[in-house]
Structure 1
Amino acid sequence: MSDETPQAGDLLVRIGAIVFLVGALATLVTVLPLFLGTRPLPWEFYWVSMLMGAGFLLAGAGVVRSAAAQRRQAEAATAAAPPASPSPSAR
């Protein structure tokens, strides 16, 4: 278990990874009959395979959201910092 605080897009990344893995498993199960020479699976399995792309998009949205939150934090920290005084050697 990590002791880091959850960031803005962490939940989206985790959900996206789970959805991606479900889609990848469905893709594997859908393609397997082609190699084994058995009857193809029903068309519903092909639709479930599309979850791979949906999971990838969800995880990507989570990464973008997390990056945007980190950028806002960095800008807020920079704006709150006092201006640097000129060094004596700069005179």
Structure 2
Amino acid sequence: MSDRSDGPGDVLVRVGGLVFGIGMLSVIAVFVPYVFDLARLPSFAYWMAMLMPLGLLVALGGLFADARAGTRRRRAREAAAAG
């Protein structure tokens, strides 16, 4: 087990990864009919493919939140050590 507590953006990174994975599967499902000359999927499938960039943005937001929290912790430690 790790002694590091979860940062403020860890949940966002996990959720973003899950949403990105669902979006990636949707993108694959959208392109399969074009490759194998099948009938097109309904519009809902194309909208589901938009989850891929949304998941990426959510995960990046979580990474930025973790980085900011780490910077705040580092500055607080430096301030406590200096004074």
Residue 24 of structure 2 corresponds to which residue in structure 1? 24
Give per-residue Cα distances to partners, 1:30-82, cap 9 Å, x unaligned: 10010011101001000000000100000000000000000000000000003
Runs of 4+ in 1 over 6 A off after TM superposition: none
Letter of the aligned partner of 1:54 in structure 2? L
Task: Please tell me whether Structure 1 or Structure 2 has the larger radius of gyration of its CA atoms.
Answer: 1
Deviation, structure 1 residue 8: 1.4
Tell me the C-alpha RMSD between the 2 structures: 1.1
**What is the TM-score when the length of structure 2 is the normalising length?**
0.94
Residue 89 of structure 1 corresponds to which residue in structure 2? none
- Runs of 5+ in structure 1 lacking a partner? 84-91
Distance in 2 of aligned mates of 1:55 and 1:16: 4
State how many pairs are aligned: 82
Distance in 2 of aligned mates of 1:38 and 1:24: 20
**What is the TM-score when the length of structure 1 is the normalising length?**
0.86
- Runs of 5+ in structure 2 lacking a partner? none
Does residue 37 of structure 2 align to residue 43 of structure 1? no
Sequence identity (%): 35
